[in-house]
Structures are given as C-alpha cells and as structure tokens.
Amino acid sequence: MTGGVDLDRTGPALLFCPADRPDRFAKAAERADAVILDLEDAVLPAERPAARAALAAHPLDPARTIVRVNPHGSSDHTLDVEAALAAGYRTLMLAKAESPAAVRAIEALAAASGSPRIGVIALCETAAGVLAAPQLAAEASVAALMWGAEDLLASLGGSSSRYPDGRYRDVARHARSAVLMAAAAHGTAAIDTVHLVIDDEVGLAAEARDAAASGFQATACIHPAQVAVIRAAYRPSPEQLSAAAALLARAAGEPGAFRFEGRMIDEPVLRHARALLERAEHTVW
C-alpha cells in the first residue's frame, strides 16, 4: 500500500474523530497513534457533505489517518470514498463490510480516480460480516479486519453486547475471535473494537492487554484519555522483554525442545518471545 497506514509500525491506539469536527482533527492526531476520521455513525446524514469537504480543507498525514466510509450500497458510500481519495487518504475503513464485492467496488473507485494502491480496513460488525471475514481478509487490498460489538448485536436482534458485570456476551466473544483468526489466517492485521465506557480505565486496560496477548495489532478508541491506557497495555514490560531475550539466548544453544526455568520450551513458545521483542522494536509509542 502506498502512503497508507502501516498498522505494524504506527502504534496501537487508533482514535475515532467525527469528520464534521475539523477543529478536533489536529488534536486527535497529536494524541493518538493514528486517527480514524469518521463519516459514518459519528456524523448526522445532513452534515456529511460538510464533513466530506472538511477532509480536504483540514488535511492530516495520510500515513497516520484512516477514513471510515459509509457501507457499500448506501447513498453516501461513493461520495465518501471519492472525497477521501481526493483529500489524499489511502486507508479507508469500510463500515458494515459484508462481501469481497464491496471491497472491489472501492478498488474500482480508486482506480478510476487515478489513486495509487489503497488499503481497506474491513469492519466486520454484522452477522454477515463476521461470517464473511475469511473472504474479506483474502482480498489483496484489505490491510486489516476490525470487529464491532454494538452493530453486531443489533444485526442479531439483540439489545446488549455485554453482561451487567461488563463482560462480553458469548456471541460477541465468538465474533472477536473469528475476526482475529480470519485476519491471521490470511496474514493481515486485526484491530480490536472500542470500549464505550470512557471512565472505565480498568476494563479498557484488561481488554487491551488481552488484545495484545491474543495477537491484535491495535485497539480503536473513542476518547483521547483512552490512548495512554491502550499504549500501556500493548507495551511489553521490561520484565517481559528481559525474560524473552533470556529465553531466546538460551534457545540458541539448544538443538530442539528443552527445559528452561521450569517450563518445557519448543518452537511455538519461542515464536511468542520473538513476537514480543518485535512488538517492542518496531512499534512507535
């Protein structure tokens, strides 16, 4: 992808910003690792023309900016894509992605505009989208998959994605896992969804730590105060890094599986350690 967001290197905290609030664009860019300028749920339909105009009038760095466009087939979709491309953005988040055809439609619009190759973040937030996650991840232009809990439950006819104690319901947990595995199976990135309770730093930190440990590259958020919590959750501790380095150093002298500090070590465990060190080395915090 040319000029787009590289989720392996930008950092883990992706901050949503309403596209009709250009007064917030620069502040969001300063505080987060990447900004998601939202033309969909955060903007009333009547305000979307002004929001599209704001993309070009208040430019941000395309290497750290994602534009969420309305679903394929909606009245705003083509206008959103064309406005984002005209403003120089190359990473588009497709709301309610449900089929490879929707991704290819964005590719066709980009080709018609003469834009360089783009990256699409397929947002799997409906039942159809979660089931189509493997097919979406297989598309060459798909740079990442993300899942969404609230629209998913709405598509199921449900009323809440979480139990009263804050834990996700099983169907939401299933969707999260399914999207992560589909992304990994096709070598693309996965983004964890937002934590809607802004003041719940403990819950956000726990979910972000789990996301990092499970293999997500980033977590989306809705408020600048959540950025530091997500960064801290994804950042390996000095103790973790030291232990991983010691393990790999020991492995260099071992021909196969071996015992180390009371554990049986084989190749999958070594891959865990390498992943931890790579996250620390290649991510800008």
Residue list for the binding site for substrate: 68, 125
77-86 helix and 48-57 helix, angle to the nearest 10 degrees: 10
Residue with tokens 């000095």: 238
Cα end-to-end span (Å), the chain: 22
Q: How far is CA 50 from CA 31, 54, 57, 76, 83, in A?
A: 24, 6, 10, 12, 11
What are the binding residues? Answer: 68, 125, 151
Nearest to 113 by CA among 151, 137, 79: 79
Q: Are 28 and 116 in contact (CB under 8 A)?
A: no
What are the binding residues for Mg(2+)? Answer: 125, 151
